[in-house]
Structure 1
Amino acid sequence: MPGRTVAKLATVSAVVAASVLTVAPTAHADLVTHCIGTGGAVTVPNDLYVPAGESCALTGTTITGNVTVAAGGNLVVTGGRVSGEVRVAADGYLDATDTTVDGQVVLAAGGYGIFLKDARTGTVTVRPKGSATIDSFLFAEASTVAGHVTVGAGEVRLDRGTQVERNVSSTGTYYTDVHDSFVDGTLSVLNSATGSVVCGSAVRGRATFAGNLGGVQLGPNGGLDSCASGSYWGADVSVTSTTGGVTVDDNIINGTLTVTANDPVAQVAANNRIRGGVTGDQAAATTNRSARVAGPDREDAGDQRAEIRRTSAVQEATEAGAARL
């Protein structure tokens, strides 16, 4: 996801100005390291806590316990390791680059977002939005999730060789897209406001797309986003009860493709290879790829949303650092 997040999100650590690491006891007399500002290649022998509304940028840091990012906090970790889990509260933000999190990563309802680049984590969970006003995001680039990905809100994009070793389950997101990535389990995208795009990827298990309002695009030449190639599907693929259009182009499906109750009916190109055939309603197959022209680039639209979030985060981090100089 070159335009959407890389250059923009990677610069947060450069604007966190102060360096303040403090240690405070909890009610259980265990030590918790409070991080405000920056930290380097040290080992934190306990849990780490980013206070509400504060920013913490760590480079080469090892944390032997769990990490908590309080409401409105920002945590940027580069080249680090967390032995436990990471929990991010409402309006909190986690940026992990070239970093390993042995435990799970959880973004609370109304969390600002999670950005993973060249990272490895356990299960990743984004809680449903509920009554929160903030739309979350999960962007993963060239990262490995050694567990499930379960998302209930916001924008989701798995990209550039990201691997999910279990299942991907998305319900009620703004969109859920998978580009050039691998899902070793099942893929489920339900009730997405602007639908789902899957391109150049492989999904080993069954894939289910249902109730998506903005359409479903599997492969190139659809109306949601631009991409170069279709995907490999290791089991049945089902696209049902979808509005906004369904296009299936240049895919290999080692199972049955089911397309029912979609409005309009699905466009299934003749160049798909579908071992179990197609069931349901579909438009006449065509090899005329130019007949389906992609609409505005979905990634560019995401760039604009990320830029708004990025600008806000940079301003908050700068102000927090400057106050400690």
Structure 2
Amino acid sequence: MKLGSKIAASTATAALAIGGVTLMAAPAQADLVTLCSGHGGAITLPTDLKVPAGASCFLDGTTIQGKVTVESDANLHILGGQIDGQVTVSSGGYFDASDTSVKGDVVNTGAYGTYLEDGTSVAALSAAAAEGADNDGFVFVVGSSASSVNATVGELYVTGSRLGGVSAEGVEYADIFDSVVRGDLSVTDAASGGILVDSEVIGDATYTGGNGPVAIGAGESEGFASSLNYIDGDLSVTGVSGGVYIDNNIVGGDLTASDNSPTAQIGDNNRVRGGILTQEVALRTFAAEVTAEFEAHEADLEEAVEEQRAETIEEALEAGPAF
């Protein structure tokens, strides 16, 4: 998927603009803050950046030498930029980064969503609920990297990316396609399960509780995935309801599949170096309705991102030059 911006930002000027960005003298010993409501280009801001509540900010090639705050119901889309500090996304806020380096963490609390694409790199990436938030939020990572991911709310979807350890607890689902996880992968009590295909986990992969379907490998569905999973440590899938499918995996440690209802379906194309502890039935055809459910996850998120990005850019351009 390629959702790169098709709109070029106007050339920015490194000066204050009435109705655009404002440099504010904060209390003594605090940093200056640039408020962004509008669009800006390839300049360096030696300040923190804040997108005020309800505003939209579109930046193309901008370097921000401080931290970034996206306030409630605000939107920030940054293309080809750099952020030296942490990004905090508040309730209902939206953060969208393409071809951008974020040296700090990205922290979402009750956010509408975060989308990373096209080589974007961030430190730790987290998503948590907020009291009174109107939505569960999403974390959508495409062709990007993060040193770790920790989600306790909403949808987690990763494709073509490189991550550190991944922890997803109480999320709607956790889907990982064609990616490398250089650490443990842990999914607990996911309401709609999750999938791991065409991927590598340099650690343990553990799925516990929640509803299915949970699919580790592609099963016998032609065209749904192109290669094996490689799991360096143990693979464990326990206590999942709604369906478990395990096939096309190389497991360096033990394979455990127990207490799942219905009983896990395990195929013949698993190679396990350690011990095997399973309650299993033979893998039947990986049902079309199951693959359709996973494919719908991506389609729904693509639609949400396209709409929110277009709205962000349109509102930022209408607001005028930010600086």
TM-score range, shorter chain: 0.7 to 0.9
Instruction: Report the equivalent of 1:293.
Output: 287
Q: CA deviation at 1:226?
A: 3.3
Given that 2:186 and 2:205 are in contact with CA atoms closer than 8 Å, whether structure 1 keeps it comes out as: yes
| 1:302 and 2:298 matched | yes
Paired with 1:50 and 1:86, the residues of 2 have a C-alpha distance of 11
Residues 142 and 92 of structure 1: CA distance in aligned 2, closer, same or farther (over 3 Å): same
- 1:136-173 deviation per Cα after TM superposition (whole angstroms, max 9, x unaligned): 1111111111x22100111111111x1113x1000111
TM-score, scaled to structure 1: 0.87
**Where does 1:47-126 land on structure 2 (aligned, <5 Å)?**
47-109=48-110, 111-117=111-117, 118-126=119-127
**Where does 1:1-325 land on structure 2 (aligned, <5 Å)?**
2=1, 6-7=2-3, 10-11=4-5, 20-28=20-28, 30-109=31-110, 111-117=111-117, 118-128=119-129, 130-145=131-146, 147-160=147-160, 162-165=161-164, 167-221=165-219, 226-284=224-282, 291-295=285-289, 296-308=292-304, 310-311=306-307, 314-315=310-311, 318-319=314-315, 321-322=317-318
- 1:242-298 deviation per Cα after TM superposition (whole angstroms, max 9, x unaligned): 0111111111000111111100111111111011132031113x5xx6x33332252
Residues paired across the two proteins, number? 310
Q: CA deviation at 1:194?
A: 0.7
Residues 98 and 305 of structure 1: CA distance in aligned 2, closer, same or farther (over 3 Å): closer
Q: Secondary structure at the match of 2:280?
A: coil
- 1:175-202 deviation per Cα after TM superposition (whole angstroms, max 9, x unaligned): 1011111111100001111101000000
Give 2:163's aligned amino acid.
V
Stretches of structure 1 lacking an aligned partner (at least 5 in a row): none
Q: Secondary structure at the match of 1:283?
A: strand
Paired with 1:42 and 1:83, the residues of 2 have a C-alpha distance of 14
Residues 323 and 120 of structure 1: CA distance in aligned 2, closer, same or farther (over 3 Å): closer
TM-score, scaled to structure 2: 0.88
Residues 15 and 99 of structure 1: CA distance in aligned 2, closer, same or farther (over 3 Å): closer
Give 2:298's aligned amino acid.
G
Given that 1:113 and 1:137 are in contact with CA atoms closer than 8 Å, whether structure 2 keeps it comes out as: yes
Q: CA deviation at 1:221?
A: 2.9
Given that 2:219 and 2:267 are in contact with CA atoms closer than 8 Å, whether structure 1 keeps it comes out as: no
Give 2:188's aligned amino acid.
L
Paired with 2:64 and 2:84, the residues of 1 have a C-alpha distance of 6
Q: Secondary structure at the match of 1:23?
A: strand
Stretches of structure 2 lacking an aligned partner (at least 5 in a row): none
Identity %: 38
Given that 1:103 and 1:122 are in contact with CA atoms closer than 8 Å, whether structure 2 keeps it comes out as: yes
Give 1:116's aligned amino acid.
L
Residues 294 and 88 of structure 1: CA distance in aligned 2, closer, same or farther (over 3 Å): same
Residues 67 and 177 of structure 1: CA distance in aligned 2, closer, same or farther (over 3 Å): same
- 1:80-135 deviation per Cα after TM superposition (whole angstroms, max 9, x unaligned): 111111101011111111111111100112x0111111111100010135542212
